[in-house]
Amino acid sequence: MALKAKLKKWNKEIFGDVKQQKEKLISDIKGIQEELERNPTDDLLLREAGLQKEFDVVLEQGEMLWYQKSREKWIVFGDRNTN
């Protein structure tokens, strides 16, 4: 149990709340895209590109997180397809 608590703490410190980060980035990107429709500028395009890159990183982190969770379950429960 101590290991689980330490791993949860490490996860929050390193990755943070991936779902929350993803939602915030989506909201920010939508806001910039709406502003771009009204007043397109190079600065807004650069900000949008930066947010898109951050979004890609967050998606990658989410994939890693789900992969680790699936591995954890496989280790705990193993291959139940036995006689």
The count of other CB atoms within 10 Å of the CB of residue 42 is: 7
pLDDT of residue 55: 95
Q: How confident is residue 3, by pLDDT bands cut at 50, 70 and 90?
A: confident
Q: Where are the alpha helices (DSSP H) in the chain?
A: 2-14, 18-38, 42-77
Say whether pLDDT at 7 is over 90.
no
Mean pLDDT of 2-19: 78
Tokens 């149990």 belong to 1
**pTM of the complete model:** 0.68
For residues 10 and 21, give the distance between their C-alpha atoms in angstroms, rounded to a whole number.
17
